[in-house]
Structure 1
Amino acid sequence: WDQLAPTAPALLVLLVIALLAARALPVLRLGDDSATALGARPQRSRILLILCAVLLVAVATSLTGPISFVAFLAGPIALRLVRRDAALPLASALLGAIIVLAGDAVGQHLFPITLPVGVITGAIGAPFLLWLLMRGRTRA
């Protein structure tokens, strides 16, 4: 918690920017031509959203260190659970948070020594990624 105080202002500003910029997402899903016709600026919105996402990930990584394989786990699992495009980003984010919290709890309490959450997510994520690759190869 002592590391959160120096980064809290950056997190607050970035979260506000992300929430404001996210209002353009439904229009951007229509395509660049339609979004432009509706008064949006697709290129500007896309750059702002990507920059904001990268900075939010940078702040989170500076606080926690690298946590591997969360995206490889959260996205495909959320896709199987939700099956609705509109809810997929929120479901992926929530599932990613659950994976990190569960990995942290397992790393702290299940073993005689404390393991970092990145070790737990990597131990689960690497076989899952291999399974996804093998499954995709058999479908192709």
Structure 2
Amino acid sequence: AAAGPVSFVALTAPQLARRLTRSPGPNLMPAMFMGATLLIVADWASQRAFGADQLPVGVVTGVLGGIYLLWLLVIERKAGRI
């Protein structure tokens, strides 16, 4: 909670890693690398998205993670698992 929206990566990274590796459960190493990749991409995007104005990296991770989780909810609902 002290990290703010950056901690949202902890919810998104294992789900993305599980889908990419197609394993039945989240594995630690792919989730760790996915979390690092998400933070690096979010930091890069927050520094370069608006030119001289920089966004906090937490805003970018929150937006990306929120979009992904909404998409995941829609897919799971269509599949009848929710």
TM-score, structure 1 length as denominator? Answer: 0.48
Distance 2:26 2:15 in 1: 13
Greater fraction helix: 1
Please, which of 83, 94, 104 is the counterpart of residue 43 of structure 2? 104
- Between 1 and 2, higher relative CO (CA 8 Å, sep ≥ 6) is seen in 2
Q: 1:87 to 1:132 in 2, by over 3 A?
A: closer
C-alpha RMSD of matched pairs (Å): 2.2
User: Is residue 133 of structure 1 aligned with residue 70 of structure 2?
Assistant: no
Identical columns (%) = 37
Is the Cα–Cα contact under 8 Å of residues 13 and 31 in structure 2 kept in the other structure? yes
User: Is residue 119 of structure 1 aligned with residue 59 of structure 2?
Assistant: yes
Please, which of 51, 75, 78 is the counterpart of residue 14 of structure 2? 75
Alignment gaps of 5+ in structure 2: none
Q: CA deviation at 1:108?
A: 1.0
Distance 1:82 1:136 in 2: 18
TM-score, structure 2 length as denominator? Answer: 0.77
Residue 30 (structure 1) aligns with: none
Greater Rg over alpha carbons, structure:
1
Q: Deviations over 1:10-52 (max 9, x none)?
A: xxxxxxxxxxxxxxxxxxxxxxxxxxxxxxxxxxxxxxxxxxx
> Aligned pairs, how many?
78
